[in-house]
């Protein structure tokens, strides 16, 4: 796919995705949605990609959905020129979130500027969020006469708790990131000129020091542990993963490199070397 509203670069294990509509504050369009989904699918399958960093071009991260079509911007029937059955429609922001969620590589959001609506909800399935202290953040859906999307009603309460999520969603208030630095939404709140630098530092630490398969399994354990009934259930899958990795060459290399006081040279690949019991959860039909 030719990329027209995004940019995709890979260097030394770190893939950088840039939302690229700077003159429109990187507002999300159908074209950008399709490009992002395609990129995350490619990053998941590409063994040269160890970590993904997402940033916005220009002064914003993403100002939300492109509303230039006017009052019918969210009316799918008006868009398609036909009556769309309510059960047929699939939210575009949710399709992006699911593509990110299914990506086996860690994803870091470098929120270099304002992130409102889908501009912030698309970052929720990302693993780490680093934000400019001056960035304006807003879950503004109720102020636009719609509801939260992009699977955010699942992600947001798990990240910040139900009370804080409810406050932000019910009021639709826009706030500075620095005002909610302790909310749990952000891993780091830094000056705008330090956002990408911090994101890249973490990305390189992962890319240079860890086993790709270990990280992929760890990501799955963390996210899907939410769905287990109790810690005993998690204990069973923890045990399975730890036992399996303990028999693999990356485990031997990790221990050997530690004892020899040298950087590890992990060789296992996410594309071909995942265990046969992965995934261990049942995917719903969407």
Q: What share of the chain is helix, strand, coil (3-state, %, to 5)?
A: 45, 15, 40
Q: So what's the pLDDT on residue 66?
A: 87
For residues 183-212, give the mean pLDDT: 98
Angle ∠(107,18,38) on CA atoms, nearest 5: 70
pLDDT per residue as tens digits for the range 72-105: 556 666 666 667 777 767 889 999 999 999 999 9
Q: So what's the pLDDT on residue 71?
A: 56
Enter the tokens of residue 97. Answer: 């979130």
Global pTM value: 0.94
Please report, rounded to a whole number, the percentage of residues in the chain having pLDDT higher than 90: 87
CA–CA separation, 92 vs 66, rounded Å?
12
Q: So what's the pLDDT on residue 72?
A: 57
Contacts 24+ apart (CB under 8 A), 281-286: 281/224, 281/227, 286/90, 286/98
Distances (CA, A) of 281 to 35, 109, 220, 226, 229: 28, 26, 10, 11, 13
Average pLDDT, the chain: 94
For residues 180-196, give the mean pLDDT: 98
Q: How many CB atoms lie within 10 A of CB 80?
A: 10
| Sign of the alpha-carbon dihedral angle for 266, 270, 272, 274 | positive
Q: So what's the pLDDT on residue 284?
A: 80
Enter the tokens of residue 264. Answer: 């590890």
Bridge partners of 17, per DSSP, are 8, 54
Q: Is 244 in contact with 237 (CB distance < 8 Å)?
A: no
Q: Which residue has the tokens 């990131």?
A: 177
**DSSP-derived secondary structure letter, 89:** -
pLDDT at 156 over 80: yes
Q: So what's the pLDDT on residue 86?
A: 73
| CATH tag for 6-206 (out of 3.90.226.10, 2.60.40.10, 3.40.720.10, 3.40.50.10800) | 3.90.226.10
Q: So what's the pLDDT on residue 152?
A: 97
Main-chain dihedrals φ then ψ at residue 126, nearest 5 degrees: -75, 155
Enter the tokens of residue 123. Answer: 């970052």
Q: So what's the pLDDT on residue 169?
A: 98
pLDDT at 198 over 90: yes
For residues 157-167, give the mean pLDDT: 97
Q: So what's the pLDDT on residue 48?
A: 98
pLDDT at 257 over 80: yes
Q: Is 279 in contact with 220 (CB distance < 8 Å)?
A: yes
pLDDT at 54 over 90: yes
CA–CA separation, 157 vs 179, rounded Å?
18
For residues 52-58, give the mean pLDDT: 98
Q: So what's the pLDDT on residue 225?
A: 94
Q: So what's the pLDDT on residue 283?
A: 82
For residues 172-193, give the mean pLDDT: 98
Bridge partners of 10, per DSSP, are 15
| Sign of the alpha-carbon dihedral angle for 115, 118, 120, 126 | negative
Q: So what's the pLDDT on residue 73?
A: 58
Q: So what's the pLDDT on residue 75?
A: 61
CA–CA separation, 278 vs 19, rounded Å?
31
Q: Is 131 in contact with 195 (CB distance < 8 Å)?
A: yes
pLDDT at 187 over 70: yes
Q: So what's the pLDDT on residue 79?
A: 64
For β-strands 136-138 and 174-176, DSSP reports them as antiparallel
Domain residue ranges in the chain: 6-206, 211-286
Q: List the single range of 40-54, 65-79, 98-112 with lowest mean pLDDT.
A: 65-79
CATH architecture type of domain 211-286: Orthogonal Bundle (1.10)
For residues 103-131, give the mean pLDDT: 98
For residues 186-196, give the mean pLDDT: 98
Secondary structure of residue 245 in the 3-state scheme: helix
Q: So what's the pLDDT on residue 286?
A: 67
């Amino acid at each position: 796919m030719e990329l027209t509203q995004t940019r995709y670069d890979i260097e030394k294990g770190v893939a950088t995705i840039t939302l690229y509509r700077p003159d429109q504050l990187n507002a999300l369009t159908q074209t950008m949605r399709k490009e992002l989904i395609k990129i995350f699918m490619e990053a998941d399958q590409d063994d040269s990609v160890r970590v993904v960093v997402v940033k916005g071009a220009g002064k914003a991260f993403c100002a939300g959905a492109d509303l230039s079509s006017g009052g019918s911007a969210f009316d799918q029937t008006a868009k398609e020129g036909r009556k769309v059955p309510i059960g047929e429609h699939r939210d575009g922001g949710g399709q992006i979130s699911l593509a990110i969620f299914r990506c086996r590589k860690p994803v870091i959001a470098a929120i270099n500027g304002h992130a409102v609506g889908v501009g912030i909800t698309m970052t929720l399935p990302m693993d780490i969020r680093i934000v400019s202290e001056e960035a304006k953040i807003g879950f503004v859906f109720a102020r636009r006469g719609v509801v939260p999307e992009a699977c955010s009603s699942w992600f947001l309460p798990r990240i910040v708790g139900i009370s804080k999520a409810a406050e932000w969603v019910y009021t639709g208030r826009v706030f500075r990131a620095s005002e909610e630095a302790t909310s749990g939404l952000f891993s780091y709140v830094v000056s705008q000129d330090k956002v990408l630098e911090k994101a890249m530092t973490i990305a390189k630490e992962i890319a240079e020091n860890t086993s790709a398969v270990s990280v992929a399994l760890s990501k799955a354990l963390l996210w899907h542990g939410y769905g287990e009934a109790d810690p005993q259930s998690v204990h069973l899958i923890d045990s399975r993963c730890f036992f399996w990795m303990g028999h693999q060459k990356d485990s031997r290399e990790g221990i050997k490199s530690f004892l020899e006081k040298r950087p590890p040279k992990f060789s296992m690949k996410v594309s071909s070397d995942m265990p046969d019991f992965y995934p261990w959860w049942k995917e719903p039909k969407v």
